[in-house]
Amino acid sequence: MATSATVVLAAAADCGTSQQCNVNPPPGFQGTGWAPAAVPRGVQAALNYWRQMSWPNWRNVGQRGAAFQVENYHDQRGNHHEGWIETGGQYQDHGDRLRTFLNIGYGGRAENYQGTFQEYYGSVYPSNPERSHISTGNFRIVRAINTGDVFVSIDHYSTFRYVGRM
């Protein structure tokens, strides 16, 4: 008798990149490699900036809290605007939820993923969060460093949306 993981893996293998697949992701997840979830509107701007910056990670910016200025301009009324994004460091994936999602085949072609993950805060802040100590909220982006698989959480890791490989 096949285990549920074997059935899911076989179904995922049959789907490949087809948009026709009806295999549902595990509880606590939305989206799959063949049908990624939509990026929540509140996270899209930060996700775009991280992608433009080629995804700095704990290997080259340190374990926690590297802030980057991504906006600095004056509008037509003379008001000064700044935008900052911040990394959260290496994501530990306690309970192996993301690694299991990838290893079962939901993330596309990332089975047997053994690499690490990077956490990014999923908002653009009006000032440097490291200096101003503003709340970073619940939006998080987590990326598998070796494969580029990206997950978004809008509830500080209670649930995840798989949004694709970036």
- Please provide the size of the chain in residues: 166
Q: What is the mean pLDDT of the chain?
A: 85
Place of tokens 């598998």: 144
pLDDT band at residue 101 using 50, 70 and 90 as cut-offs: very high
Tell me the per-residue pLDDT of 10-33, one tens digit each, with 9 for 90 and over. Answer: 444 455 544 445 468 889 999 999
Q: How confident is the model at residue 15, as a pLDDT?
A: 55
Angle, CA 119 vertex, CA 67 and CA 136 arms, to 5°: 55
Tell me the per-residue pLDDT of 39-91, one tens digit each, with 9 for 90 and over. Answer: 998 899 999 999 999 999 888 776 677 899 999 999 999 999 999 999 988 99
